[in-house]
Structure 1
Amino acid sequence: MAKIFQAPKAIPSLEVLLNDLKVGTLVRTPGDFNAFNFADAYRATGGFPVLSLSFRAAAGGLRKNPKPLASALPAFFANLLPEDKLREAMEKHHAGNVRAGNDFDLLAALGADLPGAVRVVPSDGKTAISEDASKDKPKARFSLAGVQMKLSVMKNTGKGGGLTLPMGDEHGQYIAKFPSTAFPGVSENEYANLALAAAIGMEVPERELVEKSDFDGIPEEFNTLSEGKVLLVKRFDRGAGGERIHIEDFAQVFGIYPSRKYEAAAYHDIASALVAAVSPAAALEFVRRLALTVITGNGDMHLKNWSLIYHGNGDKPELAPIYDVLSTVPYIPADAMALSLGGERSFKALTAQRWKVFANRARLPEPAVLKAVTDIVESVNEHWWSLPERAVVPEKVLERIDEHLRVMTPILSTCADK
C-alpha cells in the first residue's frame, strides 16, 4: 500500500513511541496549544520502560499529564530538536512544510529519527512528508540536539564507500561534526580530547577524523563554508544492528528548556540525581569527568552535554558515555564553567574548598570527591603530554590547551593536601 504523505504543519496529533511501544499522544489544539497525554496502557505499567525521569512521581509511577502549553512543547520534547544554525538549516530544508519557530511542525517532520529511542508518528497513520514534491527527492528527517552544524550520517557499504545523509526512512549511525570558521581546529581539538578521555579510562564513543570530500549528496543548506577535518563519532544511542537505545540529557531529566541549559541547575544537582537514579559510583564517575572538564578548560559542559542511557528493558538508567569533550579556552580565553561548581564558575577558583562545597551539596563523601579529582589530575598529566593525537591539533590551539593545563594542575592538586 502506498504511503500517504501529509505536511507536518497540517498534522493535528502525534503518537509518541518508545521503540515500538506507544507511551502517549501529542495533540495540537485550536489556538496553537500543545498537550501531551500518557496512554492508559503505559500508565498502567507504572511508566516502564522509562521515557524520562522528569515524568516520574517521587512516590513512583507517572506524574499527572502536563498542562497544555501555548505554542510550545513540553520540555522533554523541545530538547529533542536542534537549536540555532542547525535548526535554521533544517527548517530551510523542509521549507513550505514546516513553519519557522514551530516546535510541533519540526518534531512532526523529524520524528522518525530522534535522539534515543523516541519516535513520533502521525496519529492517523499517514506519514509526515519526506519528499520534495517538485523534485521527487526524499528529505533528511533526523534530529540532533545542540547548536553546532552536525549531521546524522551513514556509511555507504557499496562501491566507493563514503558518507551520506540518511534520507526518508533511513537512519544514521554516526554524527558528523563539521569545522567552524569561528573556532579553527575544533574537530581536531575534540578528537584529541576524546582520545585523552579514553586513555584515562573513560567510556568514550568510537571516533575518527575524515575529509569533507568523503561526504556525498549533502544538501546545500547543511553545507558549511569552513575548511578542515570533520569529526565522525559513532552514535551510542544506536546499536550494532541499528536498533534504538534510549537516552535523555539532563535538561530533559530536570524538565528544563534548552534556552536555560546554562543557568537552571548546578553540577551538584546532576551528581545528586545520579546518586538517586543510578548509584553513588556513577556520581563519582561524573566527578572524574568534571575534573577532566576543569583541567582541559571545557566551558561548554551544560545540562545537555551530560546524559543518561537506558540499556536492556529500559527500566534503569546508567551514565551515558562522555561526549562533546573539547577545550574551549583556546577560542574564549576568559571562558569559565558552563554551570556552577561549589558556587564558582571560574576555572582558577576551583580549589579543594570548592570541591568540598560541591561534595556537601551533592551529599557525596568529601574524601572520595577529592581523591577522584586528584586521580584525574595525575592521569591527565601522565597521558596528555605524550598522547599521539596531540599531533593533529593546530599549534596555537594546542599551546593554549597546554598552558591551561599547566595553570590548573597545581590548583586542582590542592585536593591532594586536604
Structure 2
Amino acid sequence: MADPRSISTLQVLLNDCKVGTIVRTPGDFNAFSFEDRYRATGGLPVLSLSFRAATGGLRKDPKPVARALPAFFANLLPEDKLREAMEKHHAGQVRAGNDFDLLAALGSDLPGAVRVVPEGDRGPPAANRLPERPKARFSLAGVQMKLSVIKNTGKGGGLTLPLGDEQGSYIAKFPSTSFPAVSENEYANLALAAALGMEVPERELVEQSEFEGIPQEFQTLSDGKVLLVRRFDRGAAGERIHIEDFAQVFGIYPSRKYEGAAYHDIAAALAVAVSVPAALEFVRRLTLAVITGNGDMHLKNWSLIYRGNGSAPQLAPVYDVLSTVPYFPADRMALSLAGERAFKGLTLPRWKIFANRARLPEAAVLNTVAETVERVDQLWWTLPERAVIPEKVLERIDAHVRSMIPVLAGGSA
C-alpha cells in the first residue's frame, strides 16, 4: 500500500458501489462529496441515514472539516488504547491523531460494508504498493482492546490476526487489568440476552494461548479468557454486510457518544426508519441494560444493519452487553432516559415520559418493560453461564438485579 501520509484522495466504496470521495486539501481540511451516479440513485444502497434528506434522496455534501473527518467516517476508527496500538503498528506511516492517515491505512477492513481506498485502487495488491511486511489493517470502533481475527480450520486450528488484504470474521475481546472477568461477564450477559429471545451473535470463551502471532503492540498484560464473538457484519462466505451505529445515524462524533442524544431519540428513529416493533425491541434491550446494571450503552453500542440489497435498515444484533456495576458501583446509564441516568431513578413514570418523547404507545412500552423484568427474574438465577463469572463479580451483579426488580415493576428499591 502507498504511504498513507502521501495520499490526498480516498474513494469510498459500499461493497463494489462507489458512493463518493474524501479529499485532503492543503491546511488539512477533509472534504467528502458524493458521486453523481450514486446521487442519481437517491442514495442506494444506503451509506448512512445521516446523509439522507427527510424528503428522500441525499442531502448536500457535508462542509469540509478542519483536521478531522466528517462524523460518519470518524466513527469508523478505533478509539483510545486500540487506536494507540494501531498507530504504533503503523508507525512511520500514520501520524498520531491524524484521522485521514489512519483511515487510509485501515480503510480496506472497516465495520460494515464500507471500504475507503486510495483513488484508483479498488482491488488486490497492485504494482504501486510498497514492498513491506503485511500489517494488520482492520478497524473496530470502541476503546476496549479487541481484534478482528481469523479462526483457522483444519489441523492445528488456532486464531490469527488478518494481515494485508485478509479480513477477520470474529472479534476477540481481551481481558482487562482494570476490570476483572470482563470477558466472562459479557459472555453470561450475552447468554441472558439470547435466552430472552434477542438476536445475539455466536460467542465462546477461549484461552489466550489459542492466538498466534499477535504483534506486541496489541497484546495485553492481563491473564484470563478471551471473548470470541462472530462478526455480524460479515457473512458466512466473508461477504460484507453494512452496519452503522447511532452516532453515525445522528452525525455525532465519537467524543460525544455519551451526550449527543438521549434514548428516546434512538427509539423514535427506529420507529420511523424501521418499525414500531423494532423500537419496542430496543425498549426490551434497554430494560435489560437497566436491570443488569449496564452503564455503557452509549450511541456507538446500538446499530442498524442493512441486509439484502442494503436499502432497508433493521435493528442490528445485540453487542457489548455486560454489567458495569461490579466495576463502578455508582455507575449510571450512558445516556439520559427521560431526563434521568441513575438506575434507581428509572421508575415507571420515567418510562411513561420516555414513551411520550419517543412517540411510542405508552401501554406497549410499559408492557415491554414489565415482561422483560419478569423474564429476567425467571431466567437469570438459573442461567448455566452464570457459573463462569467469579463469585465477587457475580454477587455485585445479583445485588443490582435484585434491587432493580421492584423499581421497574412499579415499586421502590
**1:184 alignment partner in structure 2:** 180
Residue 31 (structure 1) aligned to one of 22, 27, 30: 27
CA distance in 1, matches of 2:20, 2:42: 13
Identity percentage of aligned residues: 78
**1:198 alignment partner in structure 2:** 194
**1:281 alignment partner in structure 2:** 277
Q: Deviations over 1:351-381 (max 9, x none)?
A: 0000000000001111100000000111101
CA distance in 2, matches of 1:330, 1:289: 20
Residue 78 (structure 1) aligned to one of 74, 77, 91: 74
Residue 96 (structure 1) aligned to one of 65, 85, 92: 92
Q: Deviations over 1:50-107 (max 9, x none)?
A: 0000000111100000111111100000000000000000000000000000000000
Which amino acid is the alignment partner of residue 56 of structure 1? R
Residue 383 (structure 2) aligned to one of 370, 373, 387: 387
Q: CA deviation at 1:303?
A: 0.1
CA distance in 2, matches of 1:415, 1:358: 18
Which amino acid is the alignment partner of residue 76 of structure 1? F
**1:354 alignment partner in structure 2:** 350
The count of aligned residue pairs is: 410
SS at 2:410's partner residue? helix
In the alignment, structure 1 residue 320 sits paired with structure 2 residue 316: yes
CA distance 1:132–1:38, shift in 2 (3 Å): closer
Q: CA deviation at 1:389?
A: 0.3
RMSD: 1.6
Preserved contact between residue 2 and residue 129 of structure 2 (Cα < 8 Å): no
SS at 1:377's partner residue? helix
CA distance in 1, matches of 2:375, 2:191: 13
Preserved contact between residue 9 and residue 22 of structure 2 (Cα < 8 Å): yes
Q: Deviations over 1:180-233 (max 9, x none)?
A: 000000000000000000001100000000000000000000000000000000
Which amino acid is the alignment partner of residue 18 of structure 1? L
**2:113 alignment partner in structure 1:** 117
Which amino acid is the alignment partner of residue 228 of structure 2? L
Which amino acid is the alignment partner of residue 273 of structure 1? A
CA distance 1:384–1:39, shift in 2 (3 Å): same
**2:287 alignment partner in structure 1:** 291
In the alignment, structure 1 residue 235 sits paired with structure 2 residue 231: yes
CA distance in 1, matches of 2:411, 2:362: 10
Residue 62 (structure 1) aligned to one of 49, 58, 61: 58
SS at 2:409's partner residue? helix
**1:18 alignment partner in structure 2:** 14
Q: Return 5+ residue gaps in structure 2 as ranges.
A: none
Q: Return 5+ residue gaps in structure 1 as ranges.
A: none
Which amino acid is the alignment partner of residue 189 of structure 1? N
CA distance in 2, matches of 1:166, 1:158: 17
Preserved contact between residue 292 and residue 400 of structure 2 (Cα < 8 Å): yes
Structure 1: 4+ residue segments shifted above 2 A = 124-133
Which amino acid is the alignment partner of residue 198 of structure 1? A
Alignment of 1:238-317 (within 5 A): 238-317=234-313
CA distance in 1, matches of 2:18, 2:315: 25
CA distance in 1, matches of 2:19, 2:43: 8
CA distance in 1, matches of 2:268, 2:279: 7
**2:335 alignment partner in structure 1:** 339
CA distance in 2, matches of 1:336, 1:33: 37
Q: CA deviation at 1:156?
A: 1.1
Preserved contact between residue 83 and residue 147 of structure 1 (Cα < 8 Å): yes
**1:105 alignment partner in structure 2:** 101
Alignment of 1:165-176 (within 5 A): 165-176=161-172
TM (norm. structure 2) is 0.97
Which amino acid is the alignment partner of residue 297 of structure 1? G
Q: Deviations over 1:2-43 (max 9, x none)?
A: xxx310111110010000000000000111110000000000
CA distance in 1, matches of 2:76, 2:92: 22
**2:369 alignment partner in structure 1:** 373
CA distance in 1, matches of 2:346, 2:153: 48
CA distance in 2, matches of 1:262, 1:15: 30
Q: Deviations over 1:389-412 (max 9, x none)?
A: 000001100000000000000000
CA distance in 1, matches of 2:130, 2:11: 24
CA distance in 2, matches of 1:217, 1:394: 29
